[in-house]
Amino acid sequence: MGQASEEKKVKKYHEIANIRFDKHFLLIRVDGKAYRIDLRRFSRKLASADERTKMNYVLSPSGYGIHWPELDEDLSIDGMIKTADIRKTG
């Protein structure tokens, strides 16, 4: 097979779902676990941004991080979940 027929695979760091916000908290599901992340610990400008700006994010294809273009802010998933509360679900 030639190189043209081979697909490059991006390493998947995390499966991300259900991103939403509650005041200065990011509520997110990472690899099947729900987390509540206090954004004030990572980005004061993101924590104080309005809901529209917070919801304008770009998730990296690999699940490595989240980018907010209006704020020029990037946060890694691993960095945030290390200190996050794991939410009980179900």
Task: For each of the domains in the chain, give its residue range(s) and CATH number, in order of start.
Answer: 13-87 (3.30.2020.40)
Render pLDDT for 17-64 as a digit per residue (tens, 0 to 9): 999 999 999 999 999 999 999 999 999 999 999 999 999 999 998 889
pTM for the whole thing?
Answer: 0.79
| Bridge partner list, 22 | 25
Q: Sort strands 16-22 and 25-30 into parallel, antiparallel or unpaired.
A: antiparallel
